[in-house]
């Protein structure tokens, strides 16, 4: 059985948060990213200690939402973060 994935933001990114939204500069790939408040919340959780399930449970509980729907959305955002090369994944 594989260990759960624990997403972690790349350490070399420049991140600035303004009014609940993050602006990220990836110098290695010369790309600028702008995250809305929801994506910023998820991005901030990616410190290598929590799993996708942990993220979904915490958010669902905090906002009174359905955990399954939240997990689907979290997974979608993390896929986008990976495609944009913003994360490293550890287990």
The answer as to whether 30 is a domain residue is yes
Q: Please answer whether residues 57 and 63 qualify as being in contact, where contact means their C-beta atoms are separated by less than 8 angstroms.
A: no
Residue 75 CA to residue 55 CA, distance in Å, equals: 10
**DSSP state, residue 53:** H
pTM: 0.89
Residue 66 belongs to a domain with what CATH number? 1.10.10.1150
Mean of the pLDDT values across residues 16-25?
A: 96
The answer as to whether 55 is a domain residue is yes
Range of the domain at 80: 10-84
Residue 76 CA to residue 72 CA, distance in Å, equals: 6
The per-residue pLDDT for range 34-55, each reduced to its tens digit, is 999 999 999 999 999 999 999 9
What pLDDT is stored for residue 1 in this prediction? 66
The answer as to whether 75 is a domain residue is yes
Number of structural domains the chain divides into = 1
- Measured CA distances, 90 to 25, 65, 81 (Å): 22, 27, 15
Q: Give the tokens for residue 15.
A: 């991140």
The per-residue pLDDT for range 2-11, each reduced to its tens digit, is 778 899 999 9
């Amino acid at each position: 059985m594989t260990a759960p994935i624990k997403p972690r933001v790349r350490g070399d990114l420049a991140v600035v948060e303004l009014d609940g939204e993050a602006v990220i500069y990836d110098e290695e790939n010369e790309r600028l990213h702008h995250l809305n408040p929801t994506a910023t919340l998820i991005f901030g959780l990616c410190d290598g200690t929590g799993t996708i399930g942990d993220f979904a449970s915490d958010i669902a509980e905090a906002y009174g939402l359905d955990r399954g729907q939240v997990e689907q959305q979290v997974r979608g955002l993390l896929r986008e973060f990976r495609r944009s090369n913003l994360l490293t994944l550890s287990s």
